[in-house]
């Protein structure tokens, strides 16, 4: 489990309303600061104490800018402002208009007052924090049915992965490193080449000390040899190093000569966006985040991580996060507290007892084995570790198996399947009952049941529609005996326009519209209709579009055609012949 240091928890909890309008130049500076940086006083005090502070800032977007360039234009304005203070972003996230800066206390005040930023929070540090399986969740049943995760990948954002370990059998298909060097924290990159970013074979190699965590996590999710069989033993692995080496006793909490490894939130975010880009090459089932910290008694959807998690979900990638090891019975850590993430708590490997260290709250999603778990360690070794860090990759591996067996399922459907086909476990500390993943039940559901039925109600087959430029209503009903009404899960595609939703602004031409529905067992059914969308142009303004007007240049609303030759009487030189 990776724990956010206490000094940064308040910053990450900041929930800021995003405003697209230009700032009010006459606003009270203190009011502006509080709205842009709700924890401004704490941030400024830390900057004064340490000389500077590392922050993540979202550039303020303007509604007058075009939608497609709004984020880029906002970043350009923010960058120009920063240059007036001789500051340059340490890292940028262009899709989300986020920038990372190192600021003094005075610079922080100027940035907060500038009107160029919507919010500013600390770029928080995360630290590996451990308390020192597969048959229990039905994984062997899945393997016996030949469901082993073949054809999909899981991404492990952690302390690197030993790609040469026999446990992975050459299945580490991509490696990357996002690891910041930052002198103010005595932080140096762990990317093997010495840069803050690195890509390709060896980029996510674990460091010599303290970097065993990621290899162990990856082994739980997707290991496969005679010693350890992971949950999804044939799944590919995308390994991403997101940690840096720190030699500051105040940050590490000890005087260990090797220092410690910590990760900036911005490096973790960079890793998540890297994985999103890989979805055009791989079927990525899940991103595993065995990291987090802080205390949240309700969902923390104000976190800047949520936008990227939502984007990953739209690409079919689930985000799995450990709930934390602080022993809370009424709160969990971040980023597990984000509603998009699948938050995972820990039970014992062979008994369904919620572990006292495992954070728990009403919005915890699922439980999985977290102690004691034996898996691979760097340099060809194996070891036993405990924590919610170990529970999360059980769920990531389970999602890989489901994605492999039922590629048509959405992230929300996979989440529902995991939670519904499970074993109920009582957390005696708070009296709450949670689902513990059970792949035997999941595989049984995937392998049984009837395919859904679907009927398209509108538009009708072989119809012509004079849309007049207006969107076309699409309607279908779907159901199956197991899940009941599935009409809400129907998706639509056009062979001309691609994926569409109702009402759909369809292009002019002959469309084959396909309605598809996938049930919780992963079974899909389709129905199609052919629809012709006629031109909305009406040159003679007679109420009949040119595409179907028998005399498009002369108004003839009645469409008279005495000799039935397809030419309207007003345009026909021989209307009676």
Tell me, what CATH number does 513's domain have?
2.60.40.10
Distance between CA 263 and CA 128 in Å, rounded?
9
Is 216 a known active-site residue?
no
pLDDT at residue 321 in the model: 96
Residue 559 forms part of a structural domain: no
Is 511 a known active-site residue?
no
Alpha helix segments (H runs only) across 259-338: 265-278, 305-314
φ, ψ at 447 (rounded to 5°): -90, -5
Residue 416 forms part of a structural domain: yes
Please pick, among 158, 210, 234, 265, the residue that the annotation labels catalytic: 158
Point out the domain boundary residue: 91, 123, 155. 123
Domain residue limits at 9: 2-123
Please pick, among 179, 326, 389, 467, the residue that the annotation labels catalytic: 389
Residue 257 forms part of a structural domain: yes
Which letter does DSSP use for residue 253 in this model?
S
Of the chain, the end-to-end C-alpha distance in Å amounts to 87
Residue 553 forms part of a structural domain: no
Q: For the chain, what is the radius of gyration of the CA atoms?
A: 28
pLDDT at residue 473 in the model: 94
Distance between CA 436 and CA 426 in Å, rounded?
10
> Which among 238, 230, 232, 222 has a CA at the least distance from the CA of 148?
232
**Pairing, β 475-480 against β 453-458:** antiparallel
Per-residue pLDDT of the chain (577 residues; tens, 9 = 90+): 444 333 333 333 333 322 333 333 344 555 678 889 988 999 999 999 999 999 999 999 887 776 567 888 999 999 999 999 999 999 999 888 999 999 999 999 999 999 999 999 999 887 664 554 444 555 554 555 457 889 999 999 999 999 999 999 999 999 999 999 999 999 999 999 999 999 999 999 998 878 999 999 999 999 999 888 999 999 999 999 999 999 998 888 777 788 888 899 999 999 999 999 999 999 999 999 999 878 999 999 988 899 999 999 999 999 999 999 999 999 999 999 999 999 999 998 778 899 999 999 999 999 999 998 999 999 999 999 999 999 999 999 999 999 998 888 899 989 999 999 999 999 999 999 999 999 888 887 776 567 789 999 999 999 988 766 689 999 999 998 767 889 999 999 999 999 999 999 898 889 999 999 988 777 789 999 999 988 767 788 887 777 778 898 888 888 888 888 888 888 888 876 6
Spatial contact of 446 and 522, defined as CB atoms under 8 Å apart: yes
State whether 421 and 502 are in the same domain: no
pLDDT at residue 350 in the model: 74
CB atoms within 10 A of CB 13: 18
Spatial contact of 388 and 222, defined as CB atoms under 8 Å apart: no
The total domain count for the chain is 3
Is 220 strand, coil or helix? helix
Beta carbons within 8 Å of 190's beta carbon, 6+ residues apart: 160, 177, 179, 207, 211, 241, 243, 244, 245, 261
Distance between CA 422 and CA 437 in Å, rounded?
5
Spatial contact of 88 and 103, defined as CB atoms under 8 Å apart: no
State whether 13 and 28 are in the same domain: yes
State whether 39 and 75 are in the same domain: yes
Residue 544 forms part of a structural domain: no
pLDDT at residue 5 in the model: 38
Distance between CA 55 and CA 69 in Å, rounded?
24
The residue written with tokens 């990948």 in the block is: 153
pTM of the model: 0.74
Is 312 strand, coil or helix? helix
Alpha helix segments (H runs only) across 377-498: 388-405, 411-420, 439-447
Which DSSP string do the residues of 174-210 spell out, in sequence order? EEEEE---BGGGTEEE-STTSSSEEESTTTTPPPSSS
Residue 268 forms part of a structural domain: yes
> Which among 137, 127, 141 has a CA at the least distance from the CA of 220?
137
State whether 250 and 324 are in the same domain: yes
State whether 340 and 393 are in the same domain: yes
CB atoms within 10 A of CB 274: 20
Which two tokens mark 202? 């060896």
For 539-576, give one letter per residue: b (16+ CB within 10 A) or e. Answer: ebebebbebebbbbeebbeeeebeeeeeebbbbbeeee
Point out the domain boundary residue: 87, 103, 123. 123
pLDDT at residue 139 in the model: 53
State whether 465 and 404 are in the same domain: no
pLDDT at residue 105 in the model: 96
Residue 422 forms part of a structural domain: yes
CATH value at residue 344: 3.40.50.200
State whether 164 and 270 are in the same domain: yes
The residue written with tokens 């040159």 in the block is: 539
Spatial contact of 477 and 489, defined as CB atoms under 8 Å apart: no
State whether 421 and 480 are in the same domain: no
State whether 377 and 489 are in the same domain: no
Spatial contact of 405 and 508, defined as CB atoms under 8 Å apart: no
Is 82 strand, coil or helix? helix
Which letter does DSSP use for residue 95 in this model?
G
Residue 564 forms part of a structural domain: no
Beta carbons within 8 Å of 208's beta carbon, 6+ residues apart: none
State whether 465 and 443 are in the same domain: no
Is 165 a known active-site residue?
no
Please pick, among 143, 165, 213, 394, the residue that the annotation labels catalytic: 213
Q: Which H, E and C letters describe 476-498, residue by residue? A: EEEEECCCEECHHHCEEEECCCE
Point out the domain boundary residue: 406, 427, 447. 447
State whether 393 and 259 are in the same domain: yes
Q: Could you tell me how many helices (H) and strands (E) the chain has, helices first? A: 13, 31
State whether 302 and 280 are in the same domain: yes
């Amino acid at each position: 489990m990776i724990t956010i240091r206490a000094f940064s928890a308040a910053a990450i909890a900041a929930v800021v309303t995003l405003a697209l309008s230009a700032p009010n130049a006459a606003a009270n500076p203190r009011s502006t600061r509080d709205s842009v940086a709700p924890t401004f006083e704490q941030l400024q005090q830390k900057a004064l104490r340490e000389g500077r502070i590392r922050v993540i800032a979202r550039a303020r977007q303007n509604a007058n800018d075009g939608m497609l360039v709004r984020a880029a234009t906002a970043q350009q304005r923010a960058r120009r402002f920063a240059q007036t203070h001789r500051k340059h972003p340490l890292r940028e996230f262009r899709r989300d208009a986020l920038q990372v800066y190192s600021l003094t206390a005075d610079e922080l005040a100027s940035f907060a007052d500038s009107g160029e930023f919507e919010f500013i929070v600390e770029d928080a540090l995360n630290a590996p924090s451990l308390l020192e399986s597969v048959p229990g969740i039905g994984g062997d049943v899945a393997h016996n049915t030949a469901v082993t995760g073949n054809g999909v990948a899981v991404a492990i954002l952690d302390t690197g992965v030993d790609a040469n370990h026999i446990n992975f059998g050459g299945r580490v298909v991509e490696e990357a490193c996002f690891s910041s060097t930052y002198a103010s924290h005595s932080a140096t990159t762990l990317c093997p080449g010495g840069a803050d970013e690195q890509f390709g074979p060896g980029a996510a190699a674990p460091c010599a000390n303290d970097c065993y965590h990621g290899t162990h996590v990856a082994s739980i999710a997707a290991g496969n040899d005679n010693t350890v069989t992971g949950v999804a033993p044939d799944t590919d692995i995308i390994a991403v190093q997101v940690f840096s080496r720190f030699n500051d006793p105040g940050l590490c909490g000890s005087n260990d000569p090797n220092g410690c490894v910590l990760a900036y939130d911005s490096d973790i975010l960079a890793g998540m966006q890297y994985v999103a880009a890989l979805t055009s090459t791989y079927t990525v089932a899940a991103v595993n985040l065995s990291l987090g910290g802080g205390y949240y008694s309700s969902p923390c959807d104000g976190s800047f991580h949520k936008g990227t998690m939502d984007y990953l979900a739209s690409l079919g990638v689930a985000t799995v996060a450990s709930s934390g090891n602080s022993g809370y019975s009424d709160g969990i850590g971040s980023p597990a507290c984000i509603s998009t993430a699948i938050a995972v708590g820990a039970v014992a490997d062979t008994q369904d007892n919620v572990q006292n260290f495992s954070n728990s709250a009403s919005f915890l999603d699922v439980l999985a084995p977290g102690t004691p778990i034996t898996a691979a360690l760097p340099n060809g070794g194996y070891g036993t570790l405990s924590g919610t860090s170990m529970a999360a990759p059980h769920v990531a591996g389970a999602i890989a198996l489901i994605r492999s067996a039922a590629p048509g399922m959405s992230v929300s459907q996979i989440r529902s399947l995991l939670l519904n086909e499970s074993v109920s476990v009582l957390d005696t500390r708070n009296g709450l009952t949670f689902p513990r993943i059970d792949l035997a039940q999941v595989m049984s559901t995937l392998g049984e049941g009837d395919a859904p039925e679907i009927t398209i109600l509108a538009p009708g087959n072989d119809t012509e529609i004079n849309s007049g430029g207006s969107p076309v209503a699409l309607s279908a009903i779907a159901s199956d005996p197991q899940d009941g009404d599935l009409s809400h899960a129907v998706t639509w595609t056009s062979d001309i326009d691609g994926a569409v939703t109702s009402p759909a602004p369809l292009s002019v031409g002959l469309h084959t519209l396909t309605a598809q529905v996938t049930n919780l067992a992963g079974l899909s059914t389709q129905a199609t209709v052919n629809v012709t969308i006629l031109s909305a142009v009406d040159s003679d303004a007679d109420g009949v579009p040119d595409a179907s007007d028998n005399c498009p240049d002369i108004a003839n609303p009645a469409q008279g055609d005495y000799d039935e030759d397809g030419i309207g009487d007003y345009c026909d030189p021989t209307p009676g012949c």
